[in-house]
């Protein structure tokens, strides 16, 4: 059965807090030692308990590691780290530039330009890609036209139903109201004074 997750907050019970500190301290020191051995890394770990006790681990000597740390913080070694980062970034930039160049050439070839260096097989492959692209475009265009046609048919049906409804309403009104084409009998005329 796996361990349940605990909420990371200060343990209020002093005994539990001390037991947890002891167990985790031992685990942390063990992990630091494993990291130094497995990865050939220079590791230093300093722990002060809540009572002020000091616990430490150093794979290459605490003074040496702290001295090296001080030099890094003061600016002696960061130039080496910065150089490595810049070197890696420059390599990535060159890779991306090459990729952009390849994509630009491929784009020009798709447009029918920069074809002089291509072999017959490469030209046939390009033709195949363009044919597939055209078919995809035609399929999408046909799909959109069919959707538009269906919308037009639905609108036409609505308009016909609405027209029929209006025609019925007009016929009903004609049946209720006397026709204005025939003269009204004198006793039905309404005076508009």
pLDDT digits (tens, 9 = 90+) for 1-37: 567 787 888 888 989 989 999 999 999 999 999 999 9
Classify residue 51 by its DSSP letter: T
d(CA 17, CA 144): 68
> Model confidence over 111-128: pLDDT tens digits?
888 888 888 998 899 899
d(CA 76, CA 66): 14
Residue 34 lies in a domain: yes
Residue 156 lies in a domain: no
CATH of the domain at 43: 3.40.1810.10
d(CA 124, CA 131): 10
DSSP 26-46: HHHHHHHHHHHHHHT---EEE
How many domains does one find in the chain? 1
d(CA 170, CA 162): 12
Structural domain for 41, as ranges: 14-74
């Amino acid at each position: 059965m796996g361990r349940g997750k605990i909420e990371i907050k200060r343990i209020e019970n002093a005994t539990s807090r001390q037991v947890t500190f002891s167990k985790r301290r031992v685990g942390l020191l063990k992990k630091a030692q494993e990291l130094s051995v497995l990865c050939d890394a220079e590791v230093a770990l300093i722990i002060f308990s809540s009572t002020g006790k000091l616990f430490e681990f150093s794979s290459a000597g605490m003074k040496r590691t702290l001295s090296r740390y001080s030099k890094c913080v003061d600016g002696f070694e960061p130039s080496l780290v910065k150089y490595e980062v810049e070197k890696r970034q420059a390599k990535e930039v060159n890779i991306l530039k090459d990729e952009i160049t390849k994509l630009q050439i491929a784009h020009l070839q798709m447009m029918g330009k920069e074809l002089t260096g291509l072999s017959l097989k490469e030209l046939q492959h390009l033709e195949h890609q363009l044919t597939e692209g055209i078919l995809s475009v035609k399929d999408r265009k046909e799909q959109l036209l069919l959707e538009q046609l269906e919308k037009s048919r639905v609108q036409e049906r609505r308009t016909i139903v609405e027209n029929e409804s209006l025609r019925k309403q007009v016929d009903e009104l004609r049946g209720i109201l006397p026709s204005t084409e025939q003269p009204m009998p004198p006793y039905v005329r309404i005076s508009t004074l």
